[in-house]
Amino acid sequence: MAPIKFTPLYKRKIWGGEKILPFKGLPATENHIGESWEISGVKGDETTVNGGPFDGMQMSELTNLLKERLVGKRNYEVFGNEFPILVKFIDAAKDLSVQVHPNDAMARKYGFPNGKSEMWYVVSTNHKAHIICGFKKDISPAEYKKAVEDNTLLDMLQDHEAHTGDCFFIPAGRVHSIGCGTFLVEIQQTSDLTYRIYDYNRRDENGKLRELHTDLAAEAINFKVENNYRTQYTPQTDSPVKLIDCNVFKTKIYELTKPYDADYSSTDSFVIYVAFGGNATLTDDRGNTVALSMGESILIPAETDRIKITPQGENFKFLETHL
């Protein structure tokens, strides 16, 4: 079976900007598009297949039909028809809320299938772009609650200047926020479960203050400080560079100047490519060829053993993620 593309879901947000559609080579017909859900199995927000023999199928239908051929034997045993990864482009024209996500155990305690860990790769930035990630020092739950009440929580958080190529891992329990001027790729567990802690006293489109989840967030937060919140890596050309290797996904970055043969014969998982620079053609081990352009994402079925990636013109830059 050939690599599969999906029709993205575009999400208007009060903090959204105008970068996503032009980045994809599309006319800027809408404003405040904050997110493009590239590949999603979230119930009520599933992406549908774009083209090919499965055109129009939702992700859950596709997984139910193809099972381990699509996602891999172990993944299907663990997740069934629930596709386990959600991929987005995010354009923050304004600061997002300060928030945290629960881990799997807490999510299940409240009736949800899983929590949410995620990663960010910064594609581009504007002047003064920033990212909030983690505390400046260890604090207690009581200190956290007092800071929320006193409106001083931001003073306790690390605010990082954001640069193109930055990568941040956001495990469940880590307080975070995408700051204004940041355009990035987000790869995460399939979940839309978020506990909002601080939202700059913003009002929604109906004029109401957006709901905060102070107590649930307190239960979810890991109050310990890490030494370095940025992922440290050395960029290379024509070979993969590991960004994240955790229990919920593994992500590498590529910058190719020449054809590259990717071998997935020992990878019992689907693979997703997220293109953020240049264009390429992908040819699988069955002879299927498909084009992949900047701003697009594509799913390589688990039954595919090899993909030849051939850049077209300028360097081809993309993220590769799988379980």
Q: What is the pLDDT of residues 35-69, one digit of tens each?
A: 999 999 999 999 999 999 999 999 999 999 999 99
Residue 226 binned pLDDT confidence (cut-offs 50, 70, 90): confident
Residue 3 binned pLDDT confidence (cut-offs 50, 70, 90): very high
248: pLDDT strictly greater than 90: yes
Provide the pLDDT for residue 31.
87
> Distance (Å, rounded) from C-alpha 123 to C-alpha 294?
11
> Distance (Å, rounded) from C-alpha 102 to C-alpha 316?
35
pTM: 0.96
Handedness of CA 224, 162, 88, 192 (dihedral sign): positive
CATH, domain range 241-322: 2.60.120.10
- Answer whether 267's CB lies under 8 Å from 305's CB: no
CATH topology agreement for domains 6-220 and 241-322: yes
29: pLDDT strictly greater than 90: no
- Answer whether 276's CB lies under 8 Å from 186's CB: no
| Domain boundaries of the chain, sorted by first residue | 6-220, 241-322
| CATH superfamily, domain at 6-220 | Jelly Rolls (2.60.120.10)
